[in-house]
């Protein structure tokens, strides 16, 4: 049986192929941050509770502290560095939806996926999704306002990607 | 963050998975089958799990099956709870799944993992108990199918090297009138004080509970009392609560007395909502 614990992985991150030698037991969060220098996803609780580490794997929000990097081989990973002028980023700035900003990348990735997946999200769906992330500075109202603004704008311009 | 090393395997078939398990076991690796991985990773960090090899079952097609229009319904063990919610083949199971962890975590937590992991609430087992689902299990001796409830004694009785492949649920049963409630100590966060899942078939209520004991259960005695229409509802509920298995959980989330109090309230709500509480 194969004994080596380190392996070379080829990951697709933010539209680029990145190869890295890493422990098979390493989480996606640490491979992104320490291996690939993508420090946007934040380590918070490392226990699946806070959502600061949220990234998208094939468009689905995932807590990267609870997924092995090796599980994502063959999938498309999007971190906050991969968002380019997404409407939710501007809405966060407009609504001042952060204070210290530590939770912001996780919130934005989750909110971005929500907007893409459920452009007609109702109040309950918005709440259900946003409950996955914690903000210690309690910018919750501003975050909710930012998400709703983007959803409204999208409804008004349904052909916009 | 996992503070030790392991090797990761991703078999493409049931046979490959069970053969891998046997080989790794022979090599002293203490392999673990791996679904969403959330529990293995978080408990590893706390040194509560240790292994030298994990076998990820997410590439095994049977484990990913979701046959929502078949009869019986086929639900693969490696389906994420979020996927089950969106497809909604079994509404009572959807309701149970939605109360587990949070929406993002449920993109990872699998049905099989919620039922076979170490955290003992295993709330998605409740709908499968009351629907009298079958479980398909693969292991060193091949594949077997049995009644889920018959194989669940405080936890699913899996032999060494076995893993859950699928659940099968009778299609008509999956659409019966049902009831689901989860009560926590505070708001929407944390483990349950009491979770109840129930459905009504041919005038008889079937009920399963989690959060009362350190294991989920469905009890014939409890149901006999609840369905005893010769007695007033209050008496039926009291007799049912008295017939709960023991021990009753008594911890920081809630005392034993409080859990029983909440359970009695929820049983009353359940009987009323299922049209069985007219003499309350
Ligand atoms: S760091 Fe991943 S959920 Fe908190
Ligand atoms: S802005 Fe500080 S944690 Fe959210």
Across the interface, whether the CB atoms of A1 and B27 are under 8 A apart is answered: yes
Complex-level ipTM: 0.95
Pairing of strands B152-153, B53-56: unpaired
Model confidence pLDDT, tens digit, residues B76-94: 999 999 999 999 999 999 9
CA–CA separation, B26 vs B23, rounded Å? 5
Measured from the Cα of A49, ligand 1's closest atom is 3
pLDDT at B280 over 50: no
Q: How many residues are present in chain A?
A: 161
- Give the residue from A4, A48, A65, A126 with the most B CB atoms within 10 Å of its CB, the best one to mutate: A48
Q: Does the predicted model carry a pTM greater than 0.80?
A: yes
Across the interface, whether the CB atoms of B7 and A5 are under 8 A apart is answered: yes
Q: What is the DSSP string of B19-77?
A: HHHHHHHHTT---EEESS-HHHHHHHHTTS---SEEEE-TT-GGGG-EESSSSSEEEET
User: What percent of chain B has a predicted confidence (pLDDT) above 70?
Assistant: 99
What residue ranges of chain B are covered by domains with CATH 3.30.465.10?
Answer: 61-173
Model confidence pLDDT, tens digit, residues B122-154: 999 999 999 999 999 999 999 999 999 999 999
Residue of A nearest to B82 (CA): A60
Q: How many CB atoms lie within 10 A of CB B241?
A: 19
| Cα of A46 from ligand 1 centre, angstroms | 4
Quick one: which ligand is closest to A47's CA?
Answer: 1
Asked if B182 and B195 touch (Cβ cutoff 8 Å), the reply is yes
pLDDT at B279 over 80: no
What residue ranges of chain B are covered by domains with CATH 3.30.390.50?
Answer: 176-275
Asked if B173 and B201 touch (Cβ cutoff 8 Å), the reply is yes
DSSP one-letter code for A143: H
User: Within an 8 Å CB–CB cutoff, is residue B178 touching chain A?
Assistant: no
Binding pocket residue ranges, ligand 2, CB within 6 Å: A 98-103, 135-137, 139
- Using CB atoms within 10 Å of the CB of residue B261, give its burial: 0 to 12 exposed, 13 to 18 middle, 19+ buried: middle
User: Within an 8 Å CB–CB cutoff, is residue B26 touching chain A?
Assistant: no
Residues contacting A150, CB < 8 A, separation 6+: A87, A88, A91, A111, A115
| Average pLDDT over every residue of B99-108 | 96
Which is nearest to B244 in space by CA: B231, B253, B256, B227? B256
Phi, psi (5° rounding) for residue A70?
-65, -25
Among protein residues, the one whose CA lies closest to atom 3 of ligand 1: A48
Asked if A88 and A104 touch (Cβ cutoff 8 Å), the reply is no
Class of domain B61-173: alpha beta
The token pair that represents B260 in the structure block: 């029983």
CA–CA separation, B134 vs B151, rounded Å? 10
CA–CA separation, B130 vs A124, rounded Å? 28
Across the interface, whether the CB atoms of A24 and B6 are under 8 A apart is answered: yes
Per-residue confidence at B205, pLDDT binned at 50, 70, 90? very high
Which is nearest to B165 in space by CA: B16, B65, B94? B65
Binding pocket residue ranges, ligand 1, CB within 6 Å: A 43-46, 48-53, 63, 65
B146 membership: H or E segment, kind and range:
strand B142-147
CA–CA separation, B208 vs B215, rounded Å? 11
CATH topology of domain B176-275: Enolase-like; domain 1 (3.30.390)
Asked if B227 and B202 touch (Cβ cutoff 8 Å), the reply is no
A17 membership: H or E segment, kind and range:
strand A16-23
What residue ranges of chain B are covered by domains with CATH 3.30.43?
Answer: 7-56
User: Within an 8 Å CB–CB cutoff, is residue B191 touching chain A?
Assistant: no
**Residue ranges of the alpha helices (H) in B62-197?**
81-87, 91-98, 111-116, 125-130
User: Within an 8 Å CB–CB cutoff, is residue B119 touching chain A?
Assistant: no
Residue B247, preceding peptide bond in cis (omega within 30° of 0): yes
CATH topology of domain B7-56: 3.30.43
Q: What is the DSSP string of A45-101?
A: SSSSSS-TTEEEETTEEEEGGGSBGGGGTTSEEE-GGG--S-HHHHHHHHHT--SS-
Instruction: Give the up-direction half-sphere exposure of residue B8: CA atoms within 13 A in the CB hemisphere.
Output: 28
Model confidence pLDDT, tens digit, residues B246-272: 999 999 889 999 999 999 999 999 999
Asked if A117 and A147 touch (Cβ cutoff 8 Å), the reply is no
Of A24, A128, A133, the CB nearest to B7: A24
| Residue B172 distance to chain A (closest CA, Å) | 28
Measured from the Cα of A100, ligand 2's closest atom is 2
Quick one: which ligand is closest to A46's CA?
Answer: 1
**Mean pLDDT for back-to-back runs of 10 residues, chain A (161 residues):** 79 98 97 98 97 98 98 98 97 96 98 97 96 94 97 81 50
User: Within an 8 Å CB–CB cutoff, is residue A61 touching chain B?
Assistant: yes
Spell out the domains of chain A, with CATH numbers in brackets.
Answer: 3-82 (3.10.20.30), 87-156 (1.10.150.120)
List the beta bridge partners of residue A61. A56
């Amino acid at each position: 049986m194969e004994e080596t614990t380190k392996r070379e992985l080829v990951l697709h991150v933010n539209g680029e192929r990145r190869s890295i030698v890493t422990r098979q037991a390493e989480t996606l969060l640490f491979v992104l941050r320490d291996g690939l220098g993508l420090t946007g996803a934040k380590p918070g609780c490392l226990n699946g509770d806070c959502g600061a580490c949220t990234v998208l794997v094939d468009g689905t929000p995932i807590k990267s502290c609870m997924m092995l990097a090796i599980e994502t081989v063959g999938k498309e990973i999007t971190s906050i560095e991969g968002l380019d002028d997404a409407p939710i980023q501007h809405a966060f700035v407009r609504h001042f939806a952060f204070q210290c900003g530590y939770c912001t990348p996780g919130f934005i990735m989750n909110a971005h996926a929500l907007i893409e997946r459920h452009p007609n999200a109702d109040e309950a769906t918005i709440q259900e999704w946003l409950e996955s992330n914690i903000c210690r500075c309690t910018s919750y109202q501003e975050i909710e306002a930012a998400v709703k603004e983007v959803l409204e704008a999208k409804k008004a311009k349904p052909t916009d990607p | 963050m996992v503070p030790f090393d392991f090797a990761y395997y991703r078999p493409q078939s049931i046979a490959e998975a069970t053969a891998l398990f046997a080989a790794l076991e022979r090599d002293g690796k203490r392999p673990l089958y791996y679904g969403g991985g959330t529990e293995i990773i978080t408990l590893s960090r706390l040194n509560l799990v240790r292994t030298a090899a994990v076998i990820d079952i997410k590439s095994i097609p049977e484990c990913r099956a979701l046959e929502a229009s078949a009869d019986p319904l086929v639900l693969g063990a490696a389906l994420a709870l979020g996927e089950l919610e969106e497809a909604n083949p079994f509404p009572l199971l959807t309701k149970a799944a939605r109360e587990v962890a949070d929406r993002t975590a449920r993109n990872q937590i699998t049905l099989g993992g919620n039922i076979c992991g170490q955290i003992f609430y295993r709330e998605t087992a409740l709908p499968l108990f009351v629907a009298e689902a079958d479980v398909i299990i693969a292991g060193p001796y091949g594949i077997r199918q049995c009644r889920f409830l018959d194989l669940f004694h405080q936890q699913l009785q899996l032999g060494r090297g076995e893993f859950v492949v699928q659940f099968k649920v009778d299609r008509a049963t999956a659409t019966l009138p049902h009831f689901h409630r989860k009560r926590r100590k505070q708001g929407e966060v944390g483990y349950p004080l009491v979770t109840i899942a129930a459905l009504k078939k041919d005038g008889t209520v079937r009920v399963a509970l989690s959060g009362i004991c350190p294991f989920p259960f469905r009890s014939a005695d409890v149901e006999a009392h609840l369905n005893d229409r010769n007695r007033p509802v209050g008496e039926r509920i009291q007799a049912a609560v008295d017939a709960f298995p023991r021990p009753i959980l008594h911890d920081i989330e809630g005392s034993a007395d409080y859990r029983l109090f909440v359970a009695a309230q929820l049983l009353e709500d359940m009987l009323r909502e299922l049209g069985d509480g007219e003499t309350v």
